[in-house]
Structures are given as structure tokens and as C-alpha cells.
Structure 1
Amino acid sequence: MSHTGGRWLVLLIGLGVVGVGVGMMVQAVLKKFIDNLHMAKMNAHTRRTVETLGLMGILARGGVFSVLGVFLIIAAATFDSKEAQGLDGTLRKIATTPFGPWLLVAVALGLVIFGVYSFFEARWRKTEPG
């Protein structure tokens, strides 16, 4: 951030990462991920499972992206490059908050759920164009 415009670049990247995270969460709530899956080939129980895992997992992933972007924005606003964190640094910052351990458990479970959803997505993802 010592370069001319570096602070603004970090701010723009942070805003972009927050935007991506919020976009993921909106897509999850609107269940847009279903459009990319062969839902008709699943039985009713599998469909409900995939919808639930997709919603929860994509929400968690979007939340992690959003928090990461917020730390980048804070780094740009305070002009402190030490505030800019990767995913590991973001999780460490979360751990220092009063509800840190519980938040980390929630993040971990959410990312595990996203991983499980990804297996379903790999199995039933639409691959043909259109």
C-alpha cells in the first residue's frame, strides 16, 4: 500500500470481494444454483438434501468472502497493511472476537456443508450448453 494508488486498489479489491460474497449469498437465497443441476434426475429426498446443503453451504462461503473483503476495506481505510488478511488471517481475527470460537465452528461447519454440496453438484451438474 506504499505505492501511489495502492490504498485505493486495496479498497476496490475489498469492495469487489465483499460484492462477490454478497452475490453468492443472494444467489443462495434465490436458489439460483438449482438452475445448474439436473434436479429431475434426483428423487425427492435427494432434491431436498441438495437444496438445503446448497443454501447453507453457499451462504457460508459467501459470508467468508464478505468478511475477507471487509478486512481488506479496513486495511485500506486505516492505511495499515497489517490489517489486510488472507483467509487464514481472517479466521484468526474472527477467533479473537467474544463469540470467536462459536463463529469458527459455524464457519467450519458451513464450509464442510459446502464441500458436501459440491459432491452432489459434481454428480448432477448440467454440462451440456443451453
Structure 2
Amino acid sequence: MNPETLKSTASAAQRSPAFRILARVGYVVLGIVHIIIGAIAISVAIGAGGGEADQGGAMEQISRVPFGTVVLWVIVLGLVALAVWQIAEAFLERDPDSKKKWGRRVKEIGTAVAYFAIAATALVYALGGSSDSSQSSTTFSATLLANPGGVVLLVLVGLVILGVGIAFIVRGIRKSFEKQLSLPAGKVGDGVRVLGVVGYVAKGIAIAVVGVLFVVAALTHDPEKAGGLDSALKSLAALPFGQVILWLVGAGLVVYGIYCFARARYARL
């Protein structure tokens, strides 16, 4: 399939009303996942337990509610549609500046991969299975460290994840997420901006801590220190005033989830 055919297919998909609705549903379910993760983090911060503060933990909580399996399938469909939308955006990127164009394409493909990963986790639970992201991260780290140059590779993985976290924080502070929205004037638009700033900064902090854990695992040659989002959030609790920090980040993730609901309504699709 040549590039022009791919662009034509991507454009046709974006023009489809049904596909647009599914993409907006994707933002809604993304919001639900983040709210649950944030709520689990808050429960850990206040000493009430709460389970795994990551995508797997969120899917497990959803699977326990009435019609949870149906909700999980909606999450799968919505996030797959959202991922395909991001890929279509990458193919249709038309910025005349070649560096900016490819930079945006890499970002859009990376976002699509993240959506596919969350959808895959939801699919596992929808089919009656379970997952442990922290264990997967440890296994991945151990595999890398067992190979020549593994320390360098694991540091690079950590730095990339750290960079993604910092990018989220910068996007929130600069309010650059507004470019993806069609916000109304007045208090509603201002409210969505506040949700975006708080949400992006909180999510960026959580992702950045994951990156730091990978770097620490590489430098100490200890794959057990590498972990996913759950390990990152819980490691915040070990810091001075850690419970307060974890509570704030958890609350910020809840805010990001609410922002995703607003994004479902105002996203430029």
C-alpha cells in the first residue's frame, strides 16, 4: 500500500461520523481509567489500601462492578478507535517544517501505542484474565540487564520515560493542550484549562517517577527497583511528606480524568 493510499484511508476514517463518536468515547473511558487510578492512589496515601494504582488495578476494579465486562469491552473499542485516530493524524500531518512534522508524527504514534497498551490491558480483563504491570516491568528490566549493554539500554528507557513525563508537565504549564481543543469563551473554557493544567502536571509527575525508577534499577543493577505506575506512585509515599505528595498526585490524576471527559466534548476531531 503506497503512502497516498494510506493517507486516503486515514482521511476517510477521520470523516466517518461513527469513528468520531468512538474516538470521543475513547476519551471518556480514558477519563474513567485515570479517575480510578487516582482514587486508588489517594486510598493508598490515606492508608486505606486500595489495590494496584495502575491500568491493571483500574481494570480489576471495573471488572468487579455490575456489567463490568461490558464496560471493559467499551474501553477496548474506545481506546482502539482513539489509537487509530492518532495514527491517522500522523499520516495526515502536513506541517511544512520537516522536523516539526516528524516530531509530531513520533508523538502521535507514541500516543497511539500507549492507547493500544491500555486497551490490551482492558482486553485481558474483559476475557477473564489479569495482569501485573510492576512484575512485567521487573521482568523487562532483568532481561535487559542480563544482556551486554543492558545497563545503558535500561538507562535510555528510563530517560525516555522521564522525558515523556517532563513533556506532560511542560504541556500543562504552557497550556499547549489547548491547540487540540475547541473551547468556548467564558467560565466553561477557563474551567477546562484549569483541569488541563492540573491534570497534565500530575500525570507528568507520575510518569517521570516511573522513568526515575528505571534509571535507578539500571545504575544499581537491581531490576526489582524498576516498576510501573503503581510502583512509581507508591514510591512517592516513602519521600518526606510522601503521603501528602501521593494524595496530591492522586487527586491530580482524578482531575486529569475529568479533563478527559471535557476533552471528549471539545476535542478537535
How far did 1:98 drift?
Answer: 2.7
Gaps in structure 2 of 5+ consecutive residues: 1-144
1:114 to 251, 256, 259: 256
3-state SS, counterpart of residue 64 of structure 1: helix
* Amino acid in the other structure paired with 2:175: K
- Aligned pair count reads 125
2:199 aligns to what?
A: 57
Map residues 95-106 of structure 1 onto 2, 5 A cutoff.
Answer: 95-106=237-248
2:209 aligns to what?
A: 67
* Amino acid in the other structure paired with 1:13: V
How far did 1:92 drift?
Answer: 2.1
* Amino acid in the other structure paired with 2:247: V
Deviations 1:45-102 (A, max 9, x none): 1011001000000010011111110111111111111111111111222222231211
- Give the structure, 1 or 2, with the largest relative contact order (CA under 8 Å, sep 6 or more): 1
1:4 to 122, 143, 148: 148
2:174 aligns to what?
A: 30
| Runs of 4+ deviating beyond 4 Å | none
3-state SS, counterpart of residue 3 of structure 1: coil
2:160 to 16, 19, 35: 16
How far did 1:30 drift?
Answer: 1.2
Is the Cα–Cα contact under 8 Å of residues 234 and 246 in structure 2 kept in the other structure? no
Overall identity of the aligned pairs, in %: 36
Give the alignment's TM-score, normalised by structure 2.
0.45
2:190 aligns to what?
A: 48
How far did 1:118 drift?
Answer: 0.4
* Amino acid in the other structure paired with 2:161: V
Structure 1 or 2, whichever has the larger Rg, is 2
